Structure 1
């Protein structure tokens, strides 16, 4: 958290870590969960409601003047796995708070849907871990994590999205001094914790080029701003092109010209950068063979789920697309096609809603 100086009375005032659940909490939670759901989802909605109601009470008793707005006890959202998740969210001052609700903490980690971290519609500034003990009629406030801390921890520990679309969070990452959450909400600026929605808007403007890149100019040594000769640019990077199938393409000089542009996805991947490589050579009937590649420029592997898409004749009614997605331990992805001079094509690289777009003229 940013270095902030808090009033001394705040430091002394905030100390609670659990709250007793009242009969009215159970009654309201039952009403909320009585929505003709299947048994498993009904139980989850019930726990979410208890956690939200108890946490709200703790907030109001601890800091009566703090602004709290309930978004929902249980918002159903369809995620990429085509499943429904229930999202308990509230707004604390101007910060979105996502409540992670469990009924036990038997492991040293837990999992949450990846979308609640990376989706512009679901991501929150803070993630609060709450344990509901129904029999003891008690809610334990275990701790909290900031969104940017989750991104940093996952990046530092090389944690990838699981096959079921979930993300692993280690319990040791959570700040168990819950007072810090209230101090942050009161004294921190919202912009100090950027979310994917903010990043997406900024990054789309930054990385969507309105310039049509002419590949024929490359043959004359003229590169559009941001692009460089692949042979030159890769000499300046900490990793070389001698990886995977990229070796045969770029080391054998089978392509007449190759250009590279570096880009990143900002906070989504903690500033990790990538190389968009476009290779061209002449084919039969004056056509051009084009190979488009994405490679990591400062890591060994691409992040799982990074997608490369090429659309031919994108500005006509005859457009056609092909795409490929990075798997675990992929050190490059590529698409190859053949097209006539004078035609245009578009390349899109995307990750969790953020898109980098480049347009080309043969």
Structure 2
């Protein structure tokens, strides 16, 4: 049957042969994908998770056909974990013969540009040895595999940064020869392909250079409108509010809201500012959690350099409940991680904090990660 005949009669596509790099899914595969999608606590994302789950079960079948003796483990696949399935539909941590594989479901057809979640490349926990784009035709229940990309061939110049949290990669950067992928999985040792070791630090510099910073000094200089316009609120006492600000109650967080937190920090030896607390706060969501971040100025020790300032970053639930175990809270500068803390148990605390010291103009990034969920880095904060 000629290609011209198929093009002139689209209905004949239904009878065209399936590529050797495609898999027809069985009814039980659809049931398994449905079960995976139903684990998500976000109903609006279940369809996308369903498609990604189809790519997972299809890729497993393809491997079983091509490498019957391959050791395949899905025990740590992110899509099988409810928190991860709610935030990222890329399938990370599929293990094949010791290699970590990331499957990226790219829709029903292959485009020239693929969008890969940043965390799947940058994160220590999610980075893979190989990235495999897969298309899913849900009408015919067919998945198709379209090449692969090795982690150690990814160069920073290839990573076009997207504000939505994705890298844009050209399909031309992927190796279309899947026989080569099968050979590597069978014959190569995983140690031969290096994975990121300090992903948060390398990601921090990129975010500082690309994203506009929130200038904490606007609070000090009473340039409140600049902060309010970008979604931040002022932490201050009622008596210190200027008359012009008293009509904008929604843009203010009462200082009394964090008094107990600051007293707790003081008792543990952290130097804070008590009078007319200077600070800003912001509400946001991450991994389905409604969180609030406070940033307050602090008092330096007598031995601190004259031009050095201190900030305390405090994170808590908007409703005051205890934070979930496994939540990582980290502050970095352009070169390294300065401080990080993790909630160890469910009963531990209703807040978590980090402190940073720096000179005016220096920038800091706040990064959150909950277990295997893709990390979130907020916009830089400039002293």
The TM-score normalised by the length of structure 2 is: 0.47
- Structure holding more strand per residue: 1
The TM-score normalised by the length of structure 1 is: 0.49
